[in-house]
Structure 1
Amino acid sequence: MVSQPSPDRERSSAPLRAHNAIPRDRVLDAARDIVVDVGLRGLTMADLARRADVSRATLYRTWPNADGVVADLFTREFRTLLQTAMRSVSGDDARSMLVALSVAVVRLARRLPVLQRVIELDPGFIAPYLLHRRGASTDDQMQLLEDLIRDGQTDGSIRAGDAAVMASAVLLDAWAFVLTGPVFVGEDHLDALDAELRLQLDRFLTP
């Protein structure tokens, strides 16, 4: 995906930081800025070290290569997105909360700068997470959906069923609306599309 140089000793007057003192968020912020500027293929450990103002040796103590940085970046960005969505919604019961949260996540994900840039320049990066494996942020979303479904089954707002399978169906639906919704309806009709998602999820979950 992202070709990287082999780690080597670099000559720098900057002091090395202890492993546990690496400014992790500063590095990930720098990685985000590079991806938004030039895409994943422009992210190298050398450029990242310069942008984050740390040595390459320091970076390699935490991440083996740029792919590892990208994985942590996307995990952080989606966890932050999920927290933002959770703060923005409310509901009278677990079903209304789950539906509102799912639609909020879809809307935020469509506007996430790093995701937009990857879709535009490096769409192949997404394929393994759709076809072969789940990432850490997907696990977070799945766990939250399962918990909400079980809560809804307890309070009577969500029908009976396997919570894990039902959560998978909700998440698959939501990701389709994120990735292919704009292609099918265009940017001018996304609000109407999201209203359909809200209706679809509500009917899917209603007892």
Structure 2
Amino acid sequence: MSSLRHNPVEDEPAREPRDAYLDAARDCILDVGWRRTTLTEVARRAGVSRMTIYRTWADMPTLLGDLMTREWAGVVTGQVTQDGPAIGRITDAILGTVRQLRHNELFVRIVELDAELILPYLFSRRGRSQDLILALTAEAVAEGQEAGEIRRGNPVAIARAVLLAAHGFVLSVHTMVDDEASEEELDDELATLITRTLQP
């Protein structure tokens, strides 16, 4: 019987070379942090020439932007479901995303070693993954409004308000956890906050 170890799996989609380069960058950041990761090291880990990486990304900030977008978008889309009432779906998706991001190894590593990388997305501009979250949430809110399940109001503004509230639960919840309030209790409060914000 032949070994299956190196046989291609027919059901698996073919991965783009770019994904392998992003995987190498992710491994670098997990190992040594953002400041010590270079395009040269990414190329070495990916097993390609430096020029191959430079042709895809001109610098590390551009690569990091693509890596974070892929990482966070994967977390977000993994939480989206079409099952059940609108308020429950939105609440579960946002709470699930918050929990996943809070414990995502890349996110945790960036916050631990290079927290300044997150600051532009809090004080200066939105990122692509934030725009994805907002688009999905606003669409779900609008659909819930049409069904009479969610209160009236600008769905874009509602989505943005919910995202602003969720930011604190991703980045700062550890500062509020102690003997008087657990992380689980705070997450329950976030669920209540979202639910009551959306109720007619």
* Same-fold status (TM-score > 0.5): yes
After superposition, residues 16-27 of structure 1 pair within 5 angstroms as: 23-27=17-21
Q: Secondary structure at the match of 2:151?
A: coil
Residue 62 of structure 1 corresponds to 56
Q: CA deviation at 1:192?
A: 1.2
Q: CA deviation at 1:22?
A: 7.0
Residue 74 of structure 2 aligns with an amino acid whose one-letter code is T
TM-score, scaled relative to structure 2: 0.88
1:202 matched to 2:189? The reply is no
Q: CA deviation at 1:37?
A: 1.2
| Alpha-carbon separation, structure 2, partners of 1:138 and 1:98 | 15
After superposition, residues 75-114 of structure 1 pair within 5 angstroms as: 75-86=69-80, 91-114=83-106
Q: Secondary structure at the match of 2:84?
A: coil
Q: CA deviation at 1:91?
A: 4.7
1:73 matched to 2:56? The reply is no
Contact 1:93-1:155 within 8 A present in 2 as well: no
TM-score, scaled relative to structure 1: 0.85
Contact 1:159-1:206 within 8 A present in 2 as well: yes
| Alpha-carbon separation, structure 1, partners of 2:77 and 2:16 | 24
Cα 1:185–1:38, aligned 2, differ >3 Å: closer, same or farther? same
| Alpha-carbon separation, structure 2, partners of 1:181 and 1:22 | 36
Cα 1:59–1:177, aligned 2, differ >3 Å: closer, same or farther? same
Q: CA deviation at 1:196?
A: 0.6
| Alpha-carbon separation, structure 1, partners of 2:169 and 2:178 | 12
Residue 158 of structure 2 corresponds to 166
Residue 129 of structure 1 corresponds to 121
After superposition, residues 181-200 of structure 1 pair within 5 angstroms as: 181-185=173-177, 189-200=182-193
| Alpha-carbon separation, structure 2, partners of 1:90 and 1:201 | 18
Q: CA deviation at 1:28?
A: 0.5
Q: Secondary structure at the match of 2:175?
A: helix
Residue 51 of structure 1 corresponds to 45
Q: CA deviation at 1:66?
A: 1.0
| Alpha-carbon separation, structure 2, partners of 1:149 and 1:83 | 16
1:117 matched to 2:106? The reply is no
1:39 matched to 2:39? The reply is no
Residue 67 of structure 2 aligns with an amino acid whose one-letter code is L
Q: CA deviation at 1:83?
A: 2.0
| Alpha-carbon separation, structure 2, partners of 1:92 and 1:27 | 38
Q: CA deviation at 1:92?
A: 2.4
Q: CA RMSD in A?
A: 1.7
Q: CA deviation at 1:90?
A: 6.2
**Percent identical residues:** 39
Gaps of 5+ in 1: 1-20
| Alpha-carbon separation, structure 2, partners of 1:32 and 1:64 | 17
Residue 199 of structure 2 aligns with an amino acid whose one-letter code is T
Gaps of 5+ in 2: 1-14
